[in-house]
Amino acid sequence: MTLEFEIINRYFKKNTNVPLGIGDDAALINKNKREFWAISQDTLNNDTHFSSDTPPVELGWKALAVNVSDIYAMGGKPNYALLSISLNQHNEKWLKGFSQGLHACAKKYGVEIIGGDTTRGATSISITIIGSVFKKNVLKRDAAKVEDDIWVTGKIGLAAIGLDCVKKKIAMKEGLKKTFIEYLNKPQPSNIYSLQAKKLFHSAIDISDGLIADLSHILKSSGVSAEIFSNQLPVHPWTKKNEAYHYALYGGDDYQLILTAAQKNRSQIELLAKQEKIKLTCIGKITNGKKLKVFDTHGIPLKNLNKGFLHFDK
């Protein structure tokens, strides 16, 4: 267990009376007979989650998008958000850009900004999101079943390549670099709400810390294991050409979903995904094995599985 989760479990986790508290992508509280409110909060800090060079318009987008992603991961629909923002100076241009990006994202995902807090301090943006989810449609991390297919939405690993471009750790043509950095700064969560997901899927999580790290949460909560096939991962052609699959396995910031579903639903999932124009790719299966296995593109199991992004890594 990483220190981040040790801190949460040791200091903040207490028994509550809510239907679902700490431990999933969002907490659930009763809304009415048929629905829950799904509530979650994500923070972006300067130098940890973005740099002073990140365009404010993209930061505004990202601050909300990373929260929308957690509501989709519960099978829910985002409704409202509260914005807590800490700024070290009043910068008109920055605020204009940031708010433009924020409102563009709110419009795209149908979210209303209903409150928040504005303070002076190191730049930090924290958003609390409130969504609604039908009780029969809730997707949790603890319901993956042996033999389930493992699916991911969209493409993965692109944001992590973008981050290495920003940090000048890798070099490539300007156009390509721009594409990857856009994935990093402007994540586009996939709206699976229209798929009536619970009829098709057993469990879900969104990818914030990397495919392997986030899949591991599903495996741990569900008491199962998995096999992942690198050659099935939905990656950018650059990743294939450079055999840089580690970006897709361990890179964070994708804000796509990992879902598991019974194999018998495969053709229906493919059909619905096509109808709803959602990219869904089967990348492996849930097993009753002891250890998560990841096969490289030659079918050989990887030896040392990295754990993805860790806050408080020592």
- For 179, list phi and psi in degrees, rounded to 5: -60, -50
- Kindly state whether residue 206 participates in binding Mg ion, applying the rule CB under 5 A: yes
- Kindly state whether residue 256 participates in binding ligand ADP, applying the rule CB under 6 A: no
# binding residues, Mg ion (CB under 5 A): 3
Nearer to ligand ADP, 68 or 244 (CB): 68
| Nearest distance from C-beta of residue 27 to ligand ADP, angstroms | 6
Q: 70, 148, 149, 209: which one contacts Mg ion (CB under 5 A)?
A: 70
| Nearest distance from C-beta of residue 22 to ligand ADP, angstroms | 4
Instruction: Tell the burial category of 143 from Cβ atoms under 10 Å away from its Cβ (0-12, 13-18, 19+).
Output: middle
| Nearest distance from C-beta of residue 42 to ligand ADP, angstroms | 5
Nearer to Mg ion, 140 or 202 (CB): 140
In degrees, rounded to 5, the angle at the alpha carbon of residue 277 between the alpha carbons of residues 248 and 68 is 65
From residue 12 to residue 51, what is the string marking binding to ligand ADP with x (rule CB under 6 A)?
x---------xxxx----------------x---------
The torsion defined by the Cα of 193, 112, 66 and 35, in degrees rounded to 10, comes to -40
CA distances from 241 to 234, 235, 244, 271, 294 (A): 13, 10, 8, 30, 19
- For 309, list phi and psi in degrees, rounded to 5: -75, 130
| Nearest distance from C-beta of residue 148 to Mg ion, angstroms | 19
From residue 184 to residue 223, what is the string marking binding to ligand ADP with x (rule CB under 6 A)?
------------------------x---------------
- Kindly state whether residue 254 participates in binding ligand ADP, applying the rule CB under 6 A: no
Q: 2, 8, 82, 296: which one contacts ligand ADP (CB under 6 A)?
A: 8
Q: 35, 58, 70, 253: which one contacts ligand ADP (CB under 6 A)?
A: 70
Count of positions (residues) in the chain: 314
**SS3 state of residue 203:** strand
23 binds, among ligand ADP, Mg ion, none (CB under 5 to 8 A by kind): ligand ADP
Nearer to ligand ADP, 26 or 280 (CB): 26
| Pairing label, strands 27-30, 35-45 | antiparallel
CA distances from 12 to 21, 23, 134, 257, 311 (A): 11, 11, 28, 26, 16
List the strands of the sheet with 35-45, edge to edge.
27-30, 35-45, 124-134, 77-87, 112-120
Is residue 128 within a helix (H) or strand (E), and if so which, with residue range? Answer: strand 124-134
164 binds, among ligand ADP, Mg ion, none (CB under 5 to 8 A by kind): none
Binding site for ligand ADP (CB under 6 A): 8, 12, 22-25, 42, 70, 208
